[in-house]
Amino acid sequence: MFVDTNVLIGARFVTAPHHGVAVSNLDRIRESPETLCTSRQVLREYLVVVTRPQSWTTPLPMAEAVEDVRRLTMSFAVLEDGPGVMEMLTALCREVSIAGKQVHDANIVATMLTHGERRLLTFNTRDFRRYGDRIELIGMDMAS
């Protein structure tokens, strides 16, 4: 199952929106035979978000954020970008109505599909719905 940036951030900060939901969903998946995966793009996005001020927390020092990324790369399968992902991305750009920053989400989908992953754990289901049945959006149990 591919894990989006917002879930990693939600799980990292107790003060983040939906912290408990993120933690409980990740814990549930870790207890299953499912493999958690992410991408280097998501890890870069993580660095961007955690090192800048947020309404719910202060920025992490870069050294601490980099250590977080090191731990994440040890506990997640990291799906690599490459020519196949770029080919899939350009196909998605032709097939799905996107522009601007939406290309970042398209690259996540392209990475997933290139590596045979269809399941996405995210709080951002609204933006990913445009990919239709190409991917499966995993509902976050908001009761946690």
* pLDDT of 141: 54
Q: Is the distance from CB of 137 to CB of 129 less than 8 angstroms?
A: yes
The DSSP secondary structure of 41-70, one letter per residue, reads HHHHHHHHHHTS-BTTBPPPPHHHHHHHHH
Show Cβ contacts of residue 36 under 8 Å, excluding neighbours closer than 6 positions: 1, 3, 26, 29, 30, 75, 76, 77
Q: Supply 122's token pair.
A: 């995210």
Sign, CA torsion 123/28/18/47: negative
* pLDDT of 72: 98
**Distance between first and last Cα of the chain:** 20
Mean pLDDT of 38-61: 97
pTM of the model: 0.94
> What's the mean pLDDT when you consider all of the chain?
95
Reported confidence tier of residue 28, pLDDT bands at 50, 70, 90: very high
Backbone dihedral angles phi then psi of residue 3, each to the nearest 5 degrees: -110, 125
- Structural domain contains residue 144: no
| Residue pLDDT, tens place only, 116-142 | 999 999 999 999 999 999 999 997 755
- Structural domain contains residue 121: yes
* pLDDT of 32: 94
Range of the structural domain that residue 63 is part of: 2-138
The CATH number of the domain holding residue 33 is 3.40.50.1010
| Residue pLDDT, tens place only, 67-107 | 999 999 999 999 999 999 999 999 999 999 999 999 999 99
Show Cβ contacts of residue 115 under 8 Å, excluding neighbours closer than 6 positions: 37, 79
- Structural domain contains residue 143: no
Q: How many structural domains is the chain composed of?
A: 1
SS3 of 140, please? coil
pLDDT above 80 (res 34): yes
* pLDDT of 144: 39
Q: Tell me the CB-side half-sphere exposure of residue 141, using CA atoms within 13 A.
A: 10
